[in-house]
Structure 1
Amino acid sequence: MSFESPDFRSDISWSTPSAITVFGHDLVDDLVGKVNLGDMGFLELTGRLPTPGESTVFNALTVSLVEHGLTPSAIVTRMTRYGAPESLQSAVAAGLLGLGSTFVGSVEGAARYVQEATLDGDLTKEAAGIVEKFVSAKAIVPGIGHPIHKPLDPRAERLFGLLDEAGLRGPQVTLIREVARQAGDALGKVLPVNVTGAIGAIASRLGIDWRVARGIGVMARAVGLVGHVLEEIRTPTAPAIWREVDEAATRHHG
């Protein structure tokens, strides 16, 4: 009895006794010491190295999401580290698991409606259809609005500015700005394009598939969460958070 070899295939990386190849580039000779971490992330997501302008913009996208203070993901990381101090990776992974539609994951939602839109037509009409879809479902429009940053999110504006400086502005940005304007009009609120919306639009301009656009935030936030682990080691907050929550939750029992 003979068995056929399963048809497994990957074109990302392969090795020989003397070399490691990543998307056709020699890791040692072409990448190590020559390519920064952001450019390596771009290579993983697109299969090619970025142009200088794309490099500046993509690195800026990641930097904008590294740190947000004691957000739920950072708190979860710190609490997990308290329970399992021997496992840094578990603490970081715990924080990353919370990157969903409320935090960071809205990059994916914004990138999806931008990429599914017809960008060479009437963008005002396209934006109206996008807004109607979310408003009629009484759902938040991904990438639009912020509880603090009004009337503009300074992070989004900085990213858009860098895109312009690199000569990469495209209809993706025009569309998401129009979505924000129409969503604000429909709901009677000030709803700027927020940082995740900007990243979704810019990632789309850079050719990054919406299905992995959230990964930009995952890469970035992993760096920040390692920093939170280190601060937790040096100046713990988890025991105090635990005590405070426990006391507050049981106070009604007297």
Structure 2
Amino acid sequence: MTLFETDLPTMATSIGRSTADDIWVQGYNLADELMGEVDFGSVFYLLITGRLPSAGEARIFNAVLVALADHGLTPTALAARLTYTGAPDSIQGAVAAGVLGAGSVFLGVFEDAGRVLTAAAPDAATSDEELDRLAAGIVENHRSRGARIPGLGHPFHKNGDPRTARLLAMARELDVLGPHTRLMLRVQAQATSPSGKPLPLNAGGACGALLCDLGIDTAVLRGVAVVSRAAGVVGHLAEEARAPMGRTLWYLAEREASYEPRR
């Protein structure tokens, strides 16, 4: 019996399919029910969760995508621009270079914060007292290991991330501030830096908590951040095409970096 003659498990997908006349996405007719009727963020949410978001959920999800789209000449943007400098005929490679650095320092905070919060397993019935106890446990666990709590602190917004304030205000207004975000706020209230100073809740932490409350699986939280940042990367590449700085960055590194042989 060959490999192809063995019994294989049944495969199924609910994401999408095409016929001669129609295209279906999660049970919706793409041309008739989604195009021109639903914004991109809501379709993205549909693809991830299998359902369209409510009006409040859609506003928060779209706000999360906007919050992380871009914030300057970050390493992701520089990686994309420098890759484009060497391969302007391959913009997809430059976009990929810009998002491949999603990790514990950049963009991965979504997932890291979400995993910490979901491990505590808060739900709508969790009392404020229990949330305080869970938050204390999270803070003590990280403190005892000398580990940073994902989602807290920011290199620039020392007095509070403006994106966080806006997202939380929207969540309260739309009544979608759920147990994960409530827990994240209690963690932030109890945590301090090694010097004893309060740590602000950054946009990554707020977004991770809010997305958990929206029912997004932690396995794809970083993917949401990557899709958001990809839009900003394409914006940087559009600018790079008309006003290049890649070669200047290259020459700057050549000029400023000294050669120091190890032997």
**Do the two structures share a fold, i.e. TM-score over 0.5?**
yes
Identity, % of aligned pairs?
44
Q: How does 1:36-47 map to 2 (within 5 A)?
A: 36-47=39-50
Other-structure match for 1:32: 35
Q: How does 1:209-228 map to 2 (within 5 A)?
A: 209-228=217-236
Q: Deviations over 1:144-188 (max 9, x none)?
A: 111221332111110011111111122222211111122217751
- Check if 1:177 corresponds to 2:197: no
Matched residues in 1 for 2:98 and 2:49: separation?
26
Matched residues in 2 for 1:48 and 1:154: separation?
30
Q: How does 1:41-120 map to 2 (within 5 A)?
A: 41-119=44-122, 120=126
Other-structure match for 1:139: 147
| CA displacement at 1:197 relative to structure 2 | 0.5
Normalised TM-score (structure 2): 0.91
Matched residues in 1 for 2:48 and 2:145: separation?
32
* Residue among 233, 238, 250 paired with 2:246: 238
* Residue among 195, 202, 225 paired with 2:203: 195
Matched residues in 1 for 2:205 and 2:74: separation?
19
Q: Deviations over 1:109-143 (max 9, x none)?
A: 11111112132251111111111222222221110
Q: Deviations over 1:21-48 (max 9, x none)?
A: 1111011111111111111111111110
| CA displacement at 1:252 relative to structure 2 | 6.1
Matched residues in 2 for 1:182 and 1:83: separation?
47
Q: Deviations over 1:89-109 (max 9, x none)?
A: 100000100111101110101
SS of residue matched to 2:18: strand
Partners of 1:151 and 1:190 within 8 A in 2: no
- Check if 1:164 corresponds to 2:206: no
Normalised TM-score (structure 1): 0.94
Partners of 1:150 and 1:190 within 8 A in 2: no
SS of residue matched to 2:88: coil
Partners of 1:118 and 1:126 within 8 A in 2: no
Coordinate RMSD, CA, aligned: 1.7
Moved over 4 A (4+): 1-6
Matched residues in 2 for 1:224 and 1:213: separation?
18
> Please, which moves more after superposition, 244-253 or 198-207?
244-253
**Unaligned 5+ residue runs, structure 1?**
none
Matched residues in 2 for 1:16 and 1:118: separation?
42
Matched residues in 1 for 2:200 and 2:182: separation?
13
Letter in 1 for 2:234: V
Matched residues in 2 for 1:194 and 1:42: separation?
23
Q: Deviations over 1:197-249 (max 9, x none)?
A: 00011001100011111122111111110110110111111101111111222
SS of residue matched to 2:170: helix
| CA displacement at 1:83 relative to structure 2 | 0.7
Matched residues in 1 for 2:192 and 2:61: separation?
28
